[in-house]
A and B are shown apart, each in its own frame.
Chain A
Amino acid sequence: MAVNDVSMHIDRGRIHGLIGPNGAGKSTLFNAMSGLVPISQGSICFEGVDVTHLPVHLRAPRGIRRTFQHVQLMEDRTVLENVLVGMHSSISTNPFKSVFGLGAEGSPDKAAREAAREVLQFLGIGHIALTEMGGLTIAEHRFAELARALVARPRLLLLDEPAAGLSLRSTEALDALLVRIRDEWGATIVLVEHRIDLVLNVSDVVTVLDNGSIIASGRGQDVIEDSGVKRAYLGVDEEE
């Protein structure tokens, strides 16, 4: 069992860091929250509604979005096209509106393009909107994927190792952006990340998983000082 008897409450408008050694169950918990992994027991509630058995594609319109540990983008398409995939639920499915542009909205993708432009400029990558992913850096990939998750204004943003492969400078930019996403965009963020400094910098609450169970939860600095956490996660025994 990858995750066992885990009970977590994530406060609205907070950044919740989730750390633990490899194999602790972080990704499984993350996948369960986004609906990719079914759970055998228990429930998952989002904004007071039980979403345990809600199909994955119906969680996005409710405001749950995520990024992936290994960036998942359409490599032969532009940044803009990738970001607009995140707007799928926000664009009318009626082909007369979304294909032929009939109706009050006018040009079918206009509102979606404006939303994409805003988020790309917010993340500082507006200049590569029309560039194909293939020739871009890892940082640009990470930011483009973040833009796709952010473009539909999610209320819960699940970020799976967003700093993996980033340079120090890009990590600092990400650090500032995560705080702004919480404060200015009002999103709740769950952050799985191996870079402890980033997690401690931005998280309001940090939860530590080990062997599929929670071993500590609280303010970042308190949690990191916990002897159990040091032993399990950092491999340090207090008596040493």
Chain B
Amino acid sequence: MRISAFFEARWFPALFLLFLLVIPLTTNNYFQFVINLVLCYVLIGFGQQLILGYAGQFSFANAAFMGIGAYTTSIIFTLNVPILIALMAGGLLAALVACLVGLPALRLSRVYLALATIAFGEMTTWILTHWNSVTKGGDGMYSPVPVFFGYSLDTDTERYFLIAIVCFVMVMIAQRMLASKFGRAFIAIRENEMVASCNGINIPLYKTIAFALSGFYAGVGGGLYAIAVNYIVPDNYDLFQLVIHFALVMVGGLGSMYGVIVGALVLTTLPEVLRDFQHYQEMLYGVLLIVFIVFIPRGVAGFLKDWKILPREILVHGWREEIPHVREAAKTAAVFNVGAGAEDRGAEH
């Protein structure tokens, strides 16, 4: 049996949830903290993957969306609002801002959109640093200890359950959404906007949806990040954070849902493994980005798919139900030699 079949099984999500729930039994505090960060970066990575890997929009603002989510969640939670609502509020505000940031994307080409979104990111960092009365400025602010249904989540292990459940639910939603007409519309826009519109796709609407969803995932991820690290400063959301987001999707695999998880796992644990070389961390991310962009554009997930360790990602609900029909059609094609058969391959290539 191929390893990928294991991931494709219907019971795999349930098994994975069970796996997530038993992880704390095997960890110490430090290891648990790192795992919490991995899960936060899975959501943050999904935000970047959605807008860059799927919709093909050169948005460099996701670090800012993450910051908006982190600060909003922390500030709202101090008003004794339930933590899940505070997280949703952080995600929704980030989504709203992302919609506004996405407006230029309806008109700007790639390079200009990149420049506009970088400018927005820098502006956000500046506001977070200088809006002392709300954000406590450059000194940063403590994120309050989350309370979940009256239970105070004091330790990393206790926080893990909140982070893991939110992450699991949001990844499942992302997976279903990308496998639907939305995911296909994003890729169609990435490939060719003119062709997409000829097939009935409303380009401005779907670009705005992509920006909103990307902002929402970055915002909720940022809120969870604030809960995980307990203390946030504006510098957390500067250009280096953006490099981490890009490295995450490039190393994991651009345009792959599995790639986000692989990227988050690699890029969150790697700096912990190389703690003795902390000064070189930024350089390490830069080198990794260059190496993967130039030599391994499909990322680690691409390799794992080629080796049939990870399954194929076909953006159609229930596509496996088509396998028997494809096999049946293959028999007919072989017998009657219909359509554009294999015979043509030699003639045309």
Contact = CB atoms under 8 A, between A and B. Distances in A.
Q: Is chain B found bound to chain A in the same assembly?
A: yes
A36 interface: yes
Most chain B beta-carbon neighbours within 10 Å: one of A61, A66, A74: A74
Interface in A132-184: 137-140, 142-143, 148, 152, 165-167, 169-170, 173
A143 B191 CA distance: 19
Contacts of A36: 194, 198
B195 A57 contact: no
A27 interface: no
Contact of A124 (B197, B316, B322, B339): B339
A120 B340 contact: no
Given A85-B196, A130-B319, A78 B340 contact: no
B343 A169 contact: yes
A72 interface: yes
Interface stretch (A9-17, A103-111, A187-195, A200-208): A103-111
Contacts of B328: 126
Interface stretch (A87-95, A220-228, A230-238): A87-95
A99 B176 CA distance: 6
Contact of A143 (B199, B339, B349): B339
Interface string B319-349: 1011101101110110000111101110111
B198 A84 contact: no
A85 B317 contact: no
B188 A74 contact: yes
A211 interface: no
A155 to B, nearest CB: 14
Contacts of A218: none
A84 B184 contact: yes
B189 to A, nearest CB: 10
A88 B318 contact: no
A216 interface: no
A88 B185 contact: yes
B347 A109 contact: no
A139 B318 contact: no
A57 to B, nearest CB: 4
B201 interface: yes
Contact of B314 (A81, A117, A123): A81
B319 A57 contact: no
A140 B181 CA distance: 23
A84 to B, nearest CB: 6
B155 interface: no
Contact of B188 (A85, A128, A129): A85
Contacts of A137: 340, 344-345, 348-349
Most chain B beta-carbon neighbours within 10 Å: one of A56, A65, A143: A56
Contacts of A72: 191-192, 194-195
Nearest to A167: B347
Nearest to A123: B339
Given A56-B198, A77-B315, A127-B333, A98 B340 contact: no
B203 interface: yes
B47 to A, nearest CB: 18
Contacts of B222: none
Nearest to A55: B197
B329 A77 contact: no
Contacts of B321: 113
A101 B325 CA distance: 22
Interface of A: 34-36, 55-61, 65-66, 68, 72-78, 80-81, 84-89, 91, 93, 95, 98-101, 107-110, 113, 117, 120-121, 123-130, 137-140, 142-143, 148, 152, 165-167, 169-170, 173
20 contacts: A60-B199, A73-B191, A85-B199, A88-B185, A89-B199, A89-B200, A99-B173, A99-B176, A99-B177, A100-B176, A117-B322, A125-B333, A125-B340, A127-B326, A127-B333, A128-B326, A137-B345, A139-B340, A165-B348, A173-B340
